[in-house]
């Protein structure tokens, strides 16, 4: 298939799915204009910033070895040599789509690499809570149609996901009241004023807030200090369909405890009314790669095909910890959705698959840089939406002449096996 061929593309106006945040909005369009891409139907700052990294026409971007441009095959061979020489590679970033993840699994098995995405901590906050106690979740269209009370725990998601409120129907005839539960300890009382959003502040940190809210909802007495939470609990108990929203990436260390408390609130509410959690997570391919690895191998990320077998180590295989401990001796970094997450500065042999603009930043010796196509810009692809249910197609809006992550990884794997 050519890079421009997009899955199931209808003949009418070119479809576009925004790949820059896990809401994956697919009802806007982009048009090429002399100054760059023009987004119509939305003023989403995140989408604009994402698009600004790409011009309507792509400049040629050859791969580099040690900062020197080279032929693609030379880069593939160098990458394969680098991995073959490594005793314990780390695959990080993992900013790619389903096809990239499929190819990545084969290479990870071949090399015994440990895989952990950028934002691995946030991913594992959610997984830990899910695996310990379970969860009850919902999806965007359910929230928009059914929710009469949306409680955002910790922060208002629209700061990081600008289309969030609109996706929930706020301002578009939706019936839901939106509340942000913000502990004073988390941040100073900023002028968070958003139409239709109410802020409930709580003296304490988010661990206390979530735990005490769970206690209030369960009808336990938590003292006077929590009267704001008591009132919120009363509203939750009275709601027909309450939704608790959290952004795992914004949670502190041990954030799974907060998620557990949120899930406990949902569980208590479901005894008499209806409620569900909506996690906002999985940006830049993290949840997509995790889903693919889980279905292929049976285990989530932070797993390696090691000497003992399929070793899943959710704490030990944290990329930051491994890099900090110098427990790995080579890094493959994948960031195909733009300039973030940038590869960490490490004194290790590196392979970087990413946006052409990385070229300037990854010049050092021992670095192989292979520019790759961005799914949703230069190539078609598939990503999971934040709720983990809907797998949306991404469409190419230009031909960038770059290989996909899957192409590159497939070639490296074949080179290693040759």
Burial (CB count within 10 angstroms: exposed 0-12, middle 13-18, buried 19+), residue 293: buried
Q: Which is nearer to another protein, 270 or 320 (CB)?
A: 270
Judged by CB under 8 A, the stretch of 104-112, 197-205, 212-220, 223-231 that binds another protein is 104-112
Secondary structure of residue 214 in the 3-state scheme:
helix
Q: Are 3 and 399 in contact (CB under 8 A)?
A: yes
Contact set for another protein, span 368-397 (CB under 8 A): 382, 384, 388-393
Judged by CB under 8 A, the stretch of 142-150, 178-186, 225-233, 365-373 that binds another protein is 142-150
From 4, 74, 130, 199, residue interacting with another protein (rule: CB under 8 A) = 130
Question: Can residue 302 be called a binding residue for another protein (CB under 8 A)?
Answer: no
Contact set for another protein, span 216-255 (CB under 8 A): 240-241
Please, what's the b/e burial string for 390-411 (b: 16 or more CB within 10 A of its CB; e: otherwise)? eebbbbbbbebebbbbbbbbbb
Q: Which is nearer to another protein, 210 or 266 (CB)?
A: 266
Give me the long-range contacts of 199-205 (CB less than 8 A, separation at least 24).
Answer: 200/228, 200/229, 200/231, 200/232, 201/228, 202/226, 202/228, 202/229, 205/252
Backbone angles phi, psi at 291, to 5 degrees: -60, -45
Q: Which is nearer to another protein, 17 or 256 (CB)?
A: 17
Q: Are 382 and 43 in contact (CB under 8 A)?
A: no
Question: Can residue 4 be called a binding residue for another protein (CB under 8 A)?
Answer: no
Closest approach, Cβ 309 to another protein, in A, equals 4
Closest approach, Cβ 224 to another protein, in A, equals 32
Give Rg (Cα) of the chain.
22
Closest approach, Cβ 221 to another protein, in A, equals 26
Question: Can residue 306 be called a binding residue for another protein (CB under 8 A)?
Answer: yes
Q: Are 184 and 204 in contact (CB under 8 A)?
A: yes
Q: Which is nearer to another protein, 5 or 329 (CB)?
A: 5
From 38, 136, 148, 252, residue interacting with another protein (rule: CB under 8 A) = 136
Judged by CB under 8 A, the stretch of 73-81, 100-108, 321-329, 362-370 that binds another protein is 100-108
Task: Please report the sign of the dihedral spanned by the C-alpha atoms of residue 197, residue 200, residue 201, residue 204.
Answer: negative
Question: Can residue 40 be called a binding residue for another protein (CB under 8 A)?
Answer: no
Integer Cα distance of 366 and 2 in angstroms:
32
Question: Can residue 416 be called a binding residue for another protein (CB under 8 A)?
Answer: no
299: how many CB neighbours lie within 10 A of its CB?
14
Binding site for another protein (CB under 8 A): 1, 5, 7-8, 10, 12, 15, 17, 26-27, 98-99, 102, 105-106, 109, 127, 130-142, 144-146, 167, 169, 240-241, 270, 273-274, 276, 291-292, 294-300, 305-306, 308-312, 382, 384, 388-393
């Amino acid at each position: 298939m050519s890079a421009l061929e997009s899955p199931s593309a209808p003949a009418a106006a070119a479809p576009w799915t925004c790949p820059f945040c896990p809401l994956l909005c697919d009802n806007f369009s982009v048009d090429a204009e002399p100054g760059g891409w023009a987004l119509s139907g939305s003023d989403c700052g995140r989408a604009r910033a994402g698009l600004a990294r790409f011009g309507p026409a792509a400049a040629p971007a050859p791969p580099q070895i040690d900062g020197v441009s080279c032929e693609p095959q030379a880069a593939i061979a160098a990458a394969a040599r680098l991995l073959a020489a490594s005793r314990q590679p780390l695959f990080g970033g993992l900013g790619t789509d389903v096809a990239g993840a499929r190819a990545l699994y084969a290479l990870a098995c071949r090399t015994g690499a440990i895989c952990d995405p950028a934002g691995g901590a946030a991913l594992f906050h959610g997984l830990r809570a899910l695996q310990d106690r379970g969860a009850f979740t919902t999806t965007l269209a359910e929230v928009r149609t059914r929710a009469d009370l949306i409680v955002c725990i910790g922060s208002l998601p629209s700061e990081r996901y600008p289309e969030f409120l609109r996706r929930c129907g706020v301002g578009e005839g939706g019936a839901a009241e939106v509340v942000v539960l913000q502990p004073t300890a988390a941040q100073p009382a900023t002028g968070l004023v958003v139409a239709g959003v109410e802020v409930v502040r709580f003296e304490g940190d988010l661990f206390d807030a979530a735990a005490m809210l769970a206690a209030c909802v369960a009808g336990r007495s938590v003292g006077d200090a929590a009267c704001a939470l008591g009132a919120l609990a009363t509203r939750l108990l009275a709601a027909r369909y309450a939704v608790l929203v959290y952004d795992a990436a914004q949670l502190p260390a041990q954030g799974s405890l907060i998620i557990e408390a949120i899930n406990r609130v949902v569980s208590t509410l479901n005894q008499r009314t209806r409620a569900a959690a909506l996690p906002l997570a999985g940006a830049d391919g993290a949840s997509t790669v995790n889903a693919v690895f889980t279905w292929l191998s049976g285990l989530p990320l932070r797993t390696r095909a090691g000497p003992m077998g399929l070793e899943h180590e959710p704490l030990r295989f944290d990329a930051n910890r491994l890099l900090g401990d110098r427990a790995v001796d080579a890094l493959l970094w994948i960031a195909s959705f733009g300039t973030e997450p940038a590869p960490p500065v490490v004194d290790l042999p590196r392979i970087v698959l990413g946006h052409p603009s990385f070229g300037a930043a990854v010049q050092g010796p021992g670095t192989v840089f292979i520019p790759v196509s961005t799914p949703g810009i230069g190539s078609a692809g598939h990503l999971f939406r934040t709720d983990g249910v809907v797998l949306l197609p991404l469409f190419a809006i230009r031909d960038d002449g770059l290989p996909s992550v899957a192409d590159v990884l497939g070639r490296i794997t074949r080179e290693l096996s040759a």
